[in-house]
Amino acid sequence: MSEEHRCGVVAIAGRPNVGKSTLLNRLLGAKIAIVTPKPQTTRDCILGILTGPGSQILFQDIPGIHQPPKPLNRRMMAVADAALADADVVLVMTDASKAAHCLQEDKLVLDRVRDAGKPTVLAINKIDLLDKPSLLPLMEAYGIQAGFDTIIPISAVTGDGLDELVAEVVKRLPVGPALYPEDELSDRSLRFLATEIVREKLTLNTRKEIPYSTAVTIDTFTEPEPPLAVTIEMTIHVERSSQKAIVIGRGGSMLKKIGTEARIDLEGLMERKVMLKLFVRVDEEWASSDAALRRLLDE
């Protein structure tokens, strides 16, 4: 191996819903992080491993940086701060489709990243949605006011600019050997990815208030030798009986829809048949204390 091989941790930082998870999935060519149009979907760090000629980038998709009003949000920001502290490089993302206000809205992100004191690269995402004459002034504003010297316009959806972005990130990584096999895409277990897939389908299918009041845990995960199906039983935790009724739906229709969509994704992930059973439980205190959060989210 060449002594110039580079390997390091890159934290993907930004406001909620700027496209961090979409970028990670696009770079890896696989669905590792869940994606929804609702902010604060990512609750934990998701590691995505991108191995290329002469480099291995360990991308950390961290929760969107925001003011934390509740215990769950405070937990998310503690996760984000720890990831920034451990990173070799920080990849800051912003949303070009909100060009008129994004520098102001990014102030909290920029302050957190500045405090971390790491090499940074700025990716201006969603340029496919931006009026092109607005791009250059936006880049100049981030260069002058925020101090970025490396700014790459990208679209995580179309893939525009991603080769250049990866090249700029690799330049800033420390020299070192790869830490994972070249065919590995994440260090997350199938159990974790399965709960995330169910949470994604839950988020996409339910009303606005439901996703922030739910957690998903695994009761059983049985993985027999093929061709037998993987059998998974999970519990969706909600805070109120009214939320349970919404998640279940009339005659169980919503829970069936969530389960069917999740099962299809799980079978694609595992490349085999999956039998998925979902249950809904009212757990009023799950999001209101640090102890309950550890019980449900740190398993």
Assign 13 to helix, strand or coil.
Answer: strand
Cβ(245)–Cβ(280) below 8 Å: no
pLDDT score recorded for residue 225: 92
In the chain, which residue ranges form alpha helices assigned H by DSSP? 20-28, 71-86, 102-105, 107-116, 135-145, 162-171, 190-205, 241-248, 253-270, 290-297
**Residue of higher predicted confidence among 8 and 100:** 8
**Whether the predicted pLDDT of 2 surpasses 50:** no
Per the model's pLDDT, the better-predicted residue between 214 and 55 turns out to be: 55
Q: What is the pLDDT of residue 37?
A: 60
Given a contact cutoff of 8 angstroms between Cβ atoms, the answer to whether 41 and 21 are in contact is: yes
Give the pLDDT confidence of 149-184 residue by residue, as tens digits.
899 999 999 999 999 999 999 999 999 999 999 989
The model's confidence at residue 71, banded by pLDDT at 50, 70 and 90, is: confident
Q: At what angle do helices 253-270 and 241-248 cross, to 10 degrees?
A: 70
Select from 223, 221, 216, 233 the least CA-distant residue to 278.
233
Task: Of 241, 295, 233, give the one whose Cα is nearest residue 75.
Answer: 295
Edge-first strand listing for the sheet containing 230-238: 215-222, 230-238, 274-282
Closest to 59 in 3D by CA, of 93, 100, 94: 93
Smallest CA-to-CA distance from 120 within 177, 62, 165 is with 165
Q: Cα-atom radius of gyration of the chain, to the nearest Å?
A: 20
pLDDT at 1: 42
Domains of the chain from N-terminus onward: 6-171 (3.40.50.300), 190-297 (3.30.300.20)
pLDDT digits (tens, 9 = 90+) for 22-63: 999 999 988 887 766 655 555 677 899 999 999 999 999 888
Nearest to 138 by CA among 226, 8, 231, 130: 130
Q: Strand 6-13 and strand 46-52: pairing?
A: unpaired
Identify the residue whose tokens are 């451990």: 86
Give the pair of three-digit tokens for residue 16: 């909620």
Residues ≥6 apart with Cβ < 8 Å to 41: 16, 17, 21, 34, 35, 200, 203, 211
Other CB atoms within a 10 A radius of the CB of residue 5 amount to 15
Sequence-distant (6+) residues with CB within 8 A of 14 are: 20, 64, 65, 92, 93, 94, 95, 106, 109
Mean pLDDT score of the chain: 87
Report how far residue 123's alpha carbon sits from residue 154's, in angstroms, rounded to the nearest whole number.
6
- Separation between Cα atoms, residue 153 and residue 139, nearest integer Å: 8
Give the DSSP H or E segment for 232. Answer: strand 230-238
